[in-house]
Amino acid sequence: MGEAKNKARETVEEEPLSPCSRLFNSPDFNCAIIVTMGSRVKGDTPAIIHGLEHTLVNHPRFSSILEMNNGKKGKPRWVRTKVRVEEHVIVPHIDPDIENPDQYLEDYISKLTTIPMDLSKPLWEMHLLGLKTSNAESFAILKIHHSLGDGMSLMSLLLACTRKTSDPEALPTVAVQKKRFGPNCNSGFFNKIWWLFVGLWFIIRLLFNTFVDILMFALTIFFLRDTETPLLAKPGSELKPKRFIHRIISFDDVKLVKNAMKMTVNDVLLGVTQAGLSRYLSRRYDQESTPKSKESMRRIRLRSAIMINLRPNTGIEVHKYLVLESLKHSKFKRIVWFRYCSMIQYRL
């Protein structure tokens, strides 16, 4: 009878890590997400702790510890535990007469990335900074290990933990644009034939591009290396401290470009990042002003791997249900955070 109860308890309170969670926890790819949120008013620490206790902490991933070797059959597992929110909320003492608060914020974030996360408790923490900068009155810095979820899941969960200012009981609304593949296919026989050819052509292009990507990936592994540039990391550089510099841009400008180019917000931000790196390299090579450096700039090969979520956006209703159900029941809710990822190579 006791063994049956222990097995039932393991089924409820333990869950194996997904392949992507194991990848993000590997020593060579151990990474965390840093989210910086500015506020127009001073942060109320007791109110924030109270809000976390009734929203974020009730989610299984944010109330489970990671056991790498002591799980069932020696495999890494998530194990549900009791969370003390006070241990995850950090309020550092800051000199109110600090000379450069913007510089202090950047230094604080840079130092935060060098501190490993404590595996004895759930892999998240929030830093509350009563720091007035040129853009906000106070800041909340959220550090989350990437094994807890991907970007879409975490953003949906964050939205599920918020409410409208006009209606404190209502969730924020998210506009979802439904795309159609061409016009209505039931409008005629010839139209159906036309879109059948379009679909076949789309599949052929998809297979061809996939083959080219796999071929380029294999060639890169063997001999097709990236060009030696200031952006190329040297061996051992992952252990050195990083410096994070942030810039605030207008979201209205981003939407203006998005609508003009008929693309997404992520496309615009990726294009801005690509343009910034390209201009940085151009400035660095122009400073040398040698024929060899200019020729290297024209023939540069620089690629980056970006993980893309291919599953449809489930919205915030699913996470609202999970948060509310976690308030009612203490049973472990099973969630699959990651499904499919794809590597896409970009050339500057």
Which active-site residues does the annotation give? 146
The 3-state DSSP class for residue 327 equals helix
Identify whether the C-beta of residue 124 lies closer than 8 Å to the C-beta of residue 86: no
CA distance 210 to 203: 10
Contacts 24+ apart (CB under 8 A), 98-104: 98/131, 101/131, 101/132, 101/133, 101/134, 102/133, 102/134, 104/131
* Torsions phi, psi for 162 (to 5 deg): -110, 170
CA distance 65 to 38: 29
Identify whether the C-beta of residue 231 lies closer than 8 Å to the C-beta of residue 281: yes
Identify whether the C-beta of residue 36 lies closer than 8 Å to the C-beta of residue 141: yes
**Beta strand pairing call for 138-145 and 32-39:** antiparallel
Of 144, 63, 47, give the one whose Cα is nearest residue 323: 63
Residue type, 77: R
Q: Kind and range of the H or E element at 230?
A: none
Q: DSSP string of 285-323? A: HHHH--HHHHHHHHT-----EEEEE-SPP--SHHHHHHH
Q: DSSP string of 197-216? A: HHHHHHHHHHHHHHHHHHHH
The 3-state DSSP class for residue 31 equals coil
The 3-state DSSP class for residue 194 equals helix
